[in-house]
Amino acid sequence: LGSRINTALQNLSKEAAIDSKAVDALLMEICKALLESDINVKLVHQLRTNVKKSIDLDQLASSANKRRVIQNAVFEELCNLVDPGVEQWKPKKGKSNVIMFVGLQGNGKTTTCTKLAAHYHRKGWKTGLVCADTFRAGAFDQIRQNSSKAHIPYYGRQVYSEVDPVKVASEGVKKFKKDKYEIIIVDTSGRHKQETELFKEMEEISAGVNPDNVVFVMDGTIGQAADAQARAFKESVDIGSIIITKMDGHAKGGGAISAVAATKSPIVFIGTGEHIYDLERFAPRPFVSKMLGMGDIGGLVETVRDMQLDKTHKNMFKNISQGVFTLRDMRDQLQTISKMGPLNKLMGMMPGMPPELANSFSAEDSSRKIRQSMSIFDSMTEQELDSDGKIFETQKSRLDRISRGSGVRPFEIHALLHQHKQFAQMVKKMGGNKGLLKNMNPEM
């Protein structure tokens, strides 16, 4: 998709006179590519109209970089489509927040339930899982295995004969509420003998557990079916959030835009693998970049340049220029880098980076490693984050606490601290605005 749009854009740059016909032809080419990327026909039409409106022909004719002007207009419009402009639902402290999951069988509900439960659990919320999928024989076992691994309490029934899912859901929620659980996640079935029965069941469970938030889980690879699926669920339950799964493979993710349009709800997370840490916060710009296939080196450089460097990063540059690199600096840097694409490539681009260090981040492992690192950083205190890591050598109990909090084994935490030490030494050597720093100035 990216290359097709890029070719069309390059052809435009070569044209001497830019008139509305040339722009029309280009937009037509871009729209064809977007349709192939599973974006809904009506939305592509809307995008085309909006982009056309936003482009000023006179300005375009005089602009030195015509490609950029149009590329930006398309990019911004896609970002608008993927963001419904409503605030994300957030759980409230001091009450039981009930989150109900809905979505068709196989879309990743059960897997994502556990991922989200583990996410809240790590952040210190008292979290429980309820299995209201009484349709699939193995559903309860799946929840039991997943939750046990993540040390999260669960409620459900082994299915031997007819069990009423509404009853199980209500009982589970009631029990967890009584025990003052703060986050109660209800997994549901996604299959029925008849579709109308499924939607009726969703309505009844929703009426039974009275959810504070309904999460619609959608497989990122389903393509044009997204629109109909999202609409059908929206009609039976009050969807408040979306999670798109299986974005680790070759999913183009265009269906996500349909889901947002049909439900008017924000995408809050994306699933990027089968493992419990493979859940990332959704961010429109990286998502759209990936959709357009800009995740190559050329795109990467632009991303780095375009990225708004906020105060955190300015602080980091200040620290680095003084030869200091704290654990917090490492966390911020990993967070930034993880939004940009393949880490090993990016690391390789950094001047002064020892090759063995860059290569230690292989493409497949790197995103998992980053997420694991983030869980470790999440479990650190402010004092620990602002430190150079030496306190972990003198006070071993801190390491145990972080291991418990993050669910990461101590030797892996050691490995992270060791890596940080290597970085810190490198930064110390470069301190005083030399080498790397000259090229990574925040005012760039």
- Name the residues that contact ligand GDP, by CB under 6 A: 103, 105-111, 190, 245-246, 248-249, 271-274, 278
Between CA 242 and CA 192 the distance in angstroms is 22
What residues does 259 pair with on adjacent strands?
A: none
Minimal distance, residue 353 CB to ligand GDP, in Å: 30
What residue 299 binds from ligand GDP, Mg ion, none (CB within 5 to 8 A, per partner kind)?
Answer: none
Between CA 191 and CA 135 the distance in angstroms is 7
With binding defined as CB under 5 A, does residue 112 bind Mg ion? Answer: no
Q: Indicate the residue among 103 and 299 with the shorter CB distance to ligand GDP.
A: 103
Q: By CB under 5 A, which span of 2-10, 108-116, 168-176, 295-303 interacts with Mg ion?
A: 108-116
Are residues 188 and 102 in contact, defined by beta-carbon separation less than 8 angstroms? Answer: yes
Minimal distance, residue 20 CB to ligand GDP, in Å: 43
The token pair that represents 208 in the structure block: 């039974």
CA 355 to chain centre: 29
Q: Indicate the residue among 145 and 422 with the shorter CB distance to ligand GDP.
A: 145
Q: Indicate the residue among 178 and 193 with the shorter CB distance to ligand GDP.
A: 193
The token pair that represents 250 in the structure block: 């070759």
Are residues 177 and 184 in contact, defined by beta-carbon separation less than 8 angstroms? Answer: yes
Minimal distance, residue 188 CB to Mg ion, in Å: 8
Minimal distance, residue 275 CB to ligand GDP, in Å: 9
Minimal distance, residue 114 CB to ligand GDP, in Å: 8
The label of the residue with tokens 């209500």 reads 170
Strands (E) in 266-381, as ranges, are: 267-271, 279-281
Q: By CB under 5 A, which span of 5-13, 106-114, 354-362, 417-425 interacts with Mg ion?
A: 106-114
Minimal distance, residue 335 CB to Mg ion, in Å: 31
Minimal distance, residue 185 CB to ligand GDP, in Å: 12
- Find the residue with minimal CB distance to Mg ion: 110
Q: Alpha-carbon torsion 73, 26, 294, 350, what sign?
A: negative
Q: By CB under 5 A, which span of 101-109, 173-181, 217-225, 431-439 interacts with Mg ion?
A: 101-109
Q: How many CA atoms lie within 13 A of 21 on its CB side?
A: 3
Between CA 115 and CA 277 the distance in angstroms is 7
Q: Indicate the residue among 212 and 278 with the shorter CB distance to ligand GDP.
A: 278
With binding defined as CB under 5 A, does residue 110 bind Mg ion? Answer: yes
What residue 106 binds from ligand GDP, Mg ion, none (CB within 5 to 8 A, per partner kind)?
Answer: ligand GDP
Q: Indicate the residue among 114 and 319 with the shorter CB distance to Mg ion.
A: 114
The token pair that represents 366 in the structure block: 């790197």
Minimal distance, residue 211 CB to ligand GDP, in Å: 17
Q: By CB under 5 A, which span of 51-59, 104-112, 296-304, 434-442 interacts with Mg ion?
A: 104-112
For 245, the 3-state DSSP assignment is strand
Minimal distance, residue 120 CB to ligand GDP, in Å: 18
DSSP string, 379-442: TS-HHHHTS-STHHHH-HHHHHHHHHHH---HHHHHHHHHHHHHHHHHHHHHTTT-THHHHT-T
Q: Indicate the residue among 274 and 306 with the shorter CB distance to ligand GDP.
A: 274
Between CA 104 and CA 197 the distance in angstroms is 13
Q: By CB under 5 A, which span of 102-110, 118-126, 170-178, 252-260 interacts with Mg ion?
A: 102-110
DSSP character for 126? -
Q: Indicate the residue among 273 and 299 with the shorter CB distance to ligand GDP.
A: 273
Between CA 215 and CA 226 the distance in angstroms is 15
Q: Indicate the residue among 81 and 159 with the shorter CB distance to Mg ion.
A: 159
The token pair that represents 198 in the structure block: 């499924």
Minimal distance, residue 12 CB to Mg ion, in Å: 47
The label of the residue with tokens 């889901």 reads 259
Between CA 146 and CA 151 the distance in angstroms is 9
With binding defined as CB under 5 A, does residue 236 bind Mg ion? Answer: no
Q: Indicate the residue among 98 and 244 with the shorter CB distance to ligand GDP.
A: 244
Minimal distance, residue 304 CB to Mg ion, in Å: 40
DSSP string, 332-375: HHHHHHHTTS-HHHHHHHSTT--HHHHHTS-HHHHHHHHHHHHH
Are residues 5 and 299 in contact, defined by beta-carbon separation less than 8 angstroms? Answer: no
Kindly provide the b/e burial profile for residues 56-70, where b requires at least 16 CB atoms within 10 angstroms of the residue's own CB.
eeeebeeeeebbebb
Q: Indicate the residue among 104 and 337 with the shorter CB distance to ligand GDP.
A: 104
> Phi and psi (nearest 5°) for 317?
-65, -35
What residue 179 binds from ligand GDP, Mg ion, none (CB within 5 to 8 A, per partner kind)?
Answer: none
What residue 248 binds from ligand GDP, Mg ion, none (CB within 5 to 8 A, per partner kind)?
Answer: ligand GDP
Q: Indicate the residue among 109 and 234 with the shorter CB distance to Mg ion.
A: 109
Q: By CB under 5 A, which span of 103-111, 299-307, 375-383, 430-438 interacts with Mg ion?
A: 103-111
For Mg ion, the binding residues (CB under 5 A) are: 109-110
